[in-house]
Amino acid sequence: MTQETINIKGMMCGHCQATVEKAIKAVKGVKSVTVDLAKKQATVEYDAAATDISNIKKAVVDAGYDVVV
């Protein structure tokens, strides 16, 4: 398992938090995700053999949010 934290721009409320969490969970290979609205971060645990961080970041962008590098 691989764990990474993604900084996300544009989350303003609980609905945003839930949307990001749902988008990340939909990525095949993601085992768990915790979205922290206050820190504007998502901590993701995933199977590196099934996906990579670029697919997870793409899911966040596709949901309408920006990934901060």
Tokens of 55: 């697919």
Q: CA-CA distance, 43 to 32, in Å (whole number)? A: 8
- CATH for 15: 3.30.70.100
Question: Residue 69 — pLDDT band, cuts 50, 70, 90?
Answer: confident
Domain with 40, as residue range(s), is 2-68
HSE-up of 13 (CA within 13 Å, CB side)? 1
How many domains does the chain divide into?
1
pLDDT in tens, 31-56: 999 999 999 999 999 999 999 999 99
Query: For 9-31, what is the mean pLDDT?
Result: 97
* pTM over the 0.85 mark: yes
Tokens of 8: 């996300």
What rounded mean pLDDT belongs to the chain? 97
